A and B are shown apart, each in its own frame.
Chain A
Amino acid sequence: MPSSLLNPDQWVNQYADALYGYTLHRVNDAALAEDIVQETFLSAWKARDTFKGEASEKSWLFTICKNKIIDHYRKKARDIVQPLAERSATDGFFDEVEHWTQEDQPADWGIDYQQNIDNKEFYQVLEGCKKKLQELQQAVFSMKYLEDLDSAEICKVLGITSSNYWVLIHRAKLQLRGCLEKNWLNIK
């Protein structure tokens, strides 16, 4: 039996924290993250006979967890009734000739953008800024940057058109960049 390769009694002990951290980073909600971890374990248990031992137990569980997270985005997108077009109007950032407003124009951050930084404060501000994004923007941003899905897949999961997608990514970037500049540059 392939499922004998699995050790379900040890799952909570061995993987719960790692799966929880992974999920929390993507859904920004502690109770929801806990639910997703639980669903992951239960689904994995139900599907135990499909485990062939080609991947490790750990990466198999992470794949199941990742699919649960994408399911969550999908459900969420269905619940959002906000019309997309209204949100894409020229609210903020640019003036009437579509030039940066004085207030929102990018400042110099004084860092090398090619280098990664290892700075706890930066990550905290980034998480805080992500939470401030509108739900659909958050979903699009996470699927693109954290799950590495391409735009066609994201559109399919969320049931949006590709022009909606580009508008959402554009707005998410404008907002995240502005939020980081306001909140991180000051404490840097």
Chain B
Amino acid sequence: MNPLNTSCKKATYLVSKKEEGKLSWLDSIRLRSHLTICSLCRKFESQTGFIGRMAKHASVNATLSPEAKQRLENAMNHRP
């Protein structure tokens, strides 16, 4: 098992494990040596890290329609 033979598919899979600190010693060598030579997978790592951060950051400023609020009020008024 030559660590330099790690494929892009495998390396991108390992990126998530790394993110959660779940990489084995051998896999971390595999990933590190692959990322050294592969700019595409380095981009994948940066971009998906960015996406994860942004997903957390995002908020939806949705408001309920007056009808929906009325339905909620009704439900609350009939609470047991």
Contact = CB atoms under 8 A, between A and B. Distances in A.
- Measured as residues with beta carbon below 8 angstroms from the partner, the interface class of chain B is 35 or more
Given A20-B62, A38-B72, A93-B9, A166 B17 contact: yes
B60 A99 contact: no
Given A41-B72, A113-B47, A123 B58 contact: yes
Main secondary structure of the interface of B (DSSP, over half): helix
Contacts of A146: 55-56
A170 B8 CA distance: 12
B75 A98 contact: no
B26 interface: no
14 contacts: A17-B64, A20-B62, A21-B62, A30-B62, A34-B64, A107-B43, A108-B43, A111-B50, A114-B50, A126-B51, A173-B15, A176-B51, A177-B47, A180-B47
Interface string B24-43: 00000000000000001001
A145 B53 CA distance: 8
A99 B51 contact: no
B62 A94 contact: no
Contact of A151 (B20, B43, B46, B50): B20
Nearest to A17: B63
A94 B7 contact: yes
A141 interface: yes
B7 A98 contact: yes
Given A123-B58, A173-B51, A106 B9 contact: no
A9 B76 CA distance: 8
A149 to B, nearest CB: 11
A116 B55 CA distance: 10
A21 B61 contact: yes
Interface in A1-27: 8-9, 11-12, 16-17, 20-22, 24-25
Given A94-B9, A166-B16, A177-B47, A34 B56 contact: no
A113 B10 contact: no
Given A20-B64, A98-B10, A174-B12, 11 more contacts: A11-B76, A12-B69, A20-B62, A30-B62, A90-B9, A94-B8, A99-B8, A116-B57, A144-B52, A151-B22, A167-B13
B52 to A, nearest CB: 5
A177 to B, nearest CB: 5
